[in-house]
Amino acid sequence: MIQIKEMAPRDGLQNEKVKILTEDKIEFIQKLQQAGITYIEIGAFVHPDKVPQMADTEAVIRGVDLQEGVETSVLVPNMHGFQKALDLGMKEVAVFTAASETFNQKNINASIQESLDRFKPVFEAAENNGIKVRGYISTAFVCPFEGLVSTNKVIPIIESLLEMGCYEVSIGDTIGKATTDQVTELFSKTHQLGLNGWLAGHFHDTYGQALENIKASLAFDIEVFDASAGGLGGCPYAPGAPGNVATEDVVDFLNSQNITLPIQINKLIEAISFIESKIGRELNSKTYKKYK
């Protein structure tokens, strides 16, 4: 069954220049739930000096009224972040690394192996407390600093994260330069290894390739896709990564493939219109412009 995992409240808002009020983030999340979104990443316990937009994550978590059947997660870089998530009653956290050494150094000031080593106590504590852990691998296809990334570098990281305890690993096209050939190459190899039931696609639409890359992923039984309402997002440490693929574009595309999700497009458009009014700039996904 195909599922969209909503990134807008975290990955979507983290790089916005205008400070979004806590109450507006909470209302945005409520509206996403009302649209039928069943999984939302609602914040991150990262250093507020580095990502100031996430400084109020604790208040957001406390303020959100979760509907039945809606899952939420929060990004944690280390045990300090995990402990905060645990204390707040979160049932899921996410950890992140990259397939490019240069990107990982610029992002979290650590090598890939060092980042994996940092996660070990998080996984141990998560297992002891019944907390699910999702993993992200950034720059899995192209790095803004190193260029093309070999699938032979990505697959061992996937395997390491799964062995450590991730229930799912999201494969990130962080700057939106992946081609369908690259997506096919990676997911065909992971399919041969029997890994695709634990993988998700995280595509940016920088060059208009995201939907084609999702289509290529579907051919290899990838059933989970990260997306961001309004196409919000972009990594502050990845030059040229303006936004995630828009949730509404993915819903519209899947409908064209005769894949129907329990997401009400009209209510999703309402949620996007609401957050658009708070960020001070226009959102321009094709589907949003068509329906708003």
Residues involved in catalysis: 235
CA distance 258 to 54: 37
- Residue ranges of alpha helices (H) inside 39-78 are 57-63
HSE-CB of 164 using CA atoms within 13 angstroms: 28
236-to-41, 81, 109, 196, 240 alpha-carbon distances in Å: 17, 19, 14, 29, 10
CA distance 219 to 133: 26
CA distance 244 to 34: 21
- First vs last Cα of the chain: how many Å apart? 28
CA distance 170 to 200: 4
Instruction: For the chain, count helices (H), then strands (E).
Output: 11, 10
CB atoms near residue 101 (< 10 Å): 17
